[in-house]
Chain A
Amino acid sequence: MTTSGALTGVTVQDAILRADKVTMRFGGLIANREVDFVIPRGGIVSLIGPNGAGKTTFFNQLTGMLQPTSGEITFEDTSLVGRSPHEIVELGVGRTFQNIRLFGAMTVLANVMVGHHVRMKASWWGSLLRLPAVRAEEEATRQRARELLDMVGLSRRFEEDWAKNLPYGDQRRLELARALASEPKLLLLDEPTAGMNPGETAQMTELIKRLRDELDLTVLLIEHDMKVVMGISERITVLDHGELLAEGKPDEIRANPSVIEAYLGKGATTA
């Protein structure tokens, strides 16, 4: 199977996700116009663009929170269009949010355990009767949640604290752990380092790379911080005004005059 990227003619042999001519219209506003997009399996791919370029809108269509006006999105040969968010999670797409959205008045551990919900089998009547199988599954989930907290570097000291009381950086880590708990094959990260200081940002970048290797993930991230994007991405897609502006390796994007212009305005190409 071969698909060509619109601008640079890339071919991808093994795509975990592909979007064909995805258009999203809100009344008269076109947030995404015929975006073609491919994520190679096992890669780390970034989606960048100035504020208002339609990145998060695009993200929301991949996760089922918005339905595209037209176009097609397939994940491992299954169409995602028309599916609800929880079905897409079940297929193996996990996500985090730009503005952290944890379940604030639940414990840190419970937040991660909620993430594992789709992989659990306990029925409501099984839970009601506390069947042995249900209790065993509950215990296994708790163990798994603790492992994930370790993995993202959250101290176990916090596990019974309220999610909302965690420091900012730890909230980002927790959100990551919650997304991982659903055992995704593709992880979508919406600005994972937003609001972090340089030290935390570096740690997060390392963490994302390590998770990809350890858990066999494919990662798509939206990111503003170019240092992060250039350091982590294998391929970068640039959106501007809802349209695909460029696609390529980090070095190609860095050198692309239209990308620099989109970010810094006309005349900045020489800077």
Chain B
Amino acid sequence: MDPLMRRAIITGLLGGAAVTHIGLIGMIDAFQSRDTIADVLTLGALLPILIALLIGWRSGGPMRTPHLVPTNRHAILLGAVGGAVTGLVIAALALFTTTVDVRWILSNASPSLAEELWYGQGPALGSILVVLVSAAAGAAGAALHVVPGPVARALTVGGLTAILVALMEPFVVAVLRNIGLRILEDTFYAQGGLTLIGFVLVFAITAAGTYAWAIRGRETKQRVAAMPPDRRRTGKLVVYFMLAAFLLLLPQIVGSRLSEVVGTVGLYILLGLGLNIVVGFAGLLDLGYVAFYAVGAYTTAVLTSAASPAFSPELPFFGALPFVVVAAMLIGLMVGTPVLRLRGDYLAIVTLGFGEIARILFLSAWAQPLVGGAQGILSVPPPIPFGRDPQSIYYPILFFCILAAVAARSLQGSRVGRAWNAMREDESVAEATGINTVTYKLLAFGLGAAFGCISGALFATKIGTVFPVSFDLLVSINALALIILGGMGNIAGVIVGALVLVGLPELLREFSEFRLLIYGVVLVAMMLLRPEGLLPSRSRRAELHEREDAEDQYEDEAGEKTGQPVVTT
């Protein structure tokens, strides 16, 4: 058989397996509660279609080994076949759940799942419909390879944005009310999702914008670069001013509930910026970063709370902060010293252990007199002069985020940042080039700890109580995942990563039981499609996309080398 066709069928089967999986774990059912387009398409119904689209995109694309590029018509056909195979599996799944009762083991394999998969139609019509819809989605996915690049990009960005805007319905509505644009609400939103008009409009606007940027972006950039310096500076100032105004007014714009989410994102941005120094700049894979977060939170609680069990100086928050930072930096050095000689995987495992040790220590009976054991420390005061409510505590969080971002940026382009990068690239050569790797490793751990502990301190004062359970492994993993997703070594990437990995799940709380699954899928997809992250630093990009070229080149050169001595007498 034609290898491309074979791939399309296999990919289609994989798509079927994916839909079966999410169906049987109840994801489709849960997502049924949300509309993407009111009265037309629920989110639950959209999921299988999106998967079929993805399958079509995979099926219709070029193949690496053997190297085959399908013609346009062939690509669309392949996409349709891939989608149809997925559709067939879906129909089979629906049929299965209606005929065989396996609910005693798979509680979601119910007739209601079949009804959803069949779009509420009967078995015959429903099966035909789902195969046709999936085939059409597959063909559409494959068509992304056929249309010109900017168009494909515009369609993808437009579609994803429209779905996202639909998902965010409760929050966007709240924002619209806050800024007095209630009028828009009726046009765009119905209960639970976008209206059809709203969906089309959002799609059209973002798609057109993306297309225009793809076509004119470079030109615009050049025009900006060609402007006289004073005008450019004015432009820059205007942008900064608008950004500053936006950031300062943000809590008022988004309201209290969203401010809470923004605050949490801010704490993770701080964590990400700190971990980025250790992992992204210096290349030290630290999986126990939560330890510094915990130390920051606990030190703050002990120093500020009146309920601190043993030692309670009841300092104001900002009075305690310098001590917190110093304490965390010392802990950073303490953690850093024993692992100085470890590299890569070994370092990761040991730091993972340190993270757990920190949590267990705070939980232990031994430390209970000081930090309260499982009862934790209660009544941590708010960061006077700011209150604890989300719209007020936003400001100290924002301040420290900006401070951390500026600090990270200054370090990145300095003697220190270069030394870290050199260490990340090749530790022994860095040492042989004159870099004291011991000092710079400890410095990375110490500064990373300082950022992490400020995040922890803000966390403690924001929540008002500190318990050991808040500091599990998941915090370290989240922080690491967000810098990987955003783009290792890049500051803007950290912010984007935190918004996507922390902000989105907070907004979609109702689906929180599937959070880790989605997390996993997103990270695997990232590693496959864009291993350098969403906003990569230049070096990571180079590393991951040009390595193949560089290796080929090196091998060619090495072929000419002869290790034999040439004696010419």
Instruction: Check B443–A124 contact: CB distance below 8 A.
Output: yes
B419 within 8 A of A: yes
* CB <8 Å contact, A120 and B565: no
| B543 contacts A105, C-beta separation under 8 Å | yes
Q: Is the interface of A mostly helix, strand, loop or mixed?
A: helix
Residues of A within 8 A of B550 (CB): 104, 164-165
Contact in complex: A105, B425 (CB < 8 Å): yes
Does B157 interact with chain A (Cβ within 8 Å)?
A: no
What sequence of 0s and 1s flags, for each residue 116-138 of chain A, a beta carbon within 8 Å of any chain B beta carbon?
A: 01101010100111100010011
**How big is the B interface, by class?**
35 or more
Mark contacts of A253-265 with chain B using CB atoms, 8 A cut-off: 1 yes-contact digit, 0 otherwise: 0100000100110
Given A105-B539, A124-B411, A226-B566, A65:B432 Cβ within 8 A? yes
Is A195 an interface residue when CB atoms closer than 8 A count as contact? yes
| B447 interfacial by beta-carbon distance below 8 Å | yes
Contact B565 A224 (CB under 8 A): yes
Complex interface residues of chain A between 188 and 212 (CB less than 8 A to chain B) = 194-195, 197
What's the Cα separation between A195 and B562 when bound, in Å? 7
A95 vs B569: C-alpha distance when bound (angstroms): 29
Expressed in whole angstroms, the Cα–Cα distance for A86 and B441 within the complex equals: 14
Assess the B411–A226 pair: CB atoms within 8 A.
no
Q: Is A86 a contact of B431 with CB atoms below 8 Å?
A: yes
Q: Shortest CB–CB separation between residue A92 and chain B, in angstroms?
A: 10
B414 touches A134 (CB 8 A): yes
Is A182 a contact of B543 with CB atoms below 8 Å? no
Whole-angstrom distance between the alpha carbons of A260 and B569 in the complex? 10
Contact A120 B566 (CB under 8 A): no
Across the interface, which residues of A come within 8 angstroms of B549, CB to CB?
Answer: 165
CB pair A263–B434 under 8 Å, yes or no, is no
Residues of B participating in the A interface, judged by any CB pair closer than 8 Å: 407, 410-411, 414-419, 421-422, 425-426, 428-437, 443, 447, 539-540, 542-543, 546-547, 549-550, 553-554, 557-558, 560-561, 563-569
| Chain A contacts to B: CB under 8 angstroms | 48, 50-51, 63-65, 84-86, 89-90, 95, 97, 101, 103-106, 110, 113-115, 117-118, 120, 122, 124, 127-130, 134, 137-138, 141, 162, 164-165, 167-168, 178-179, 182, 194-195, 197, 224-227, 230, 254, 260, 263-264
Given A106-B421, A110-B418, A122-B415, decide whether A85 and B540 contact each other with a Cβ distance below 8 A: no
Contacts known (A134-B414, A138-B414, A225-B566); A105 close to B432, Cβ less than 8 A: no
Contact indicator A117/B432 (Cβ below 8 Å): no
Q: Contact: B415 with A105, CB < 8 Å?
A: no
Chain B hits for A103, CB < 8 A: 421-422, 425-426, 429-430
- Whether the Cβ atoms of B432 and A63 lie closer than 8 Å is yes
Q: Are A114 and B431 in contact, with the CB atoms below 8 A?
A: no
Neighbouring A residues of B569 by C-beta, 8 Å: 226, 254, 260
Q: Which residues of B contact A64 (CB under 8 A)?
A: 432
Task: Tell me the nearest residue of chain B to A122, going by C-beta.
Answer: B415
- Point out the residues of chain B lying under 8 angstroms from A63, CB to CB: 432
Smallest distance from the beta carbon of B225 to chain A beta carbons, Å? 16
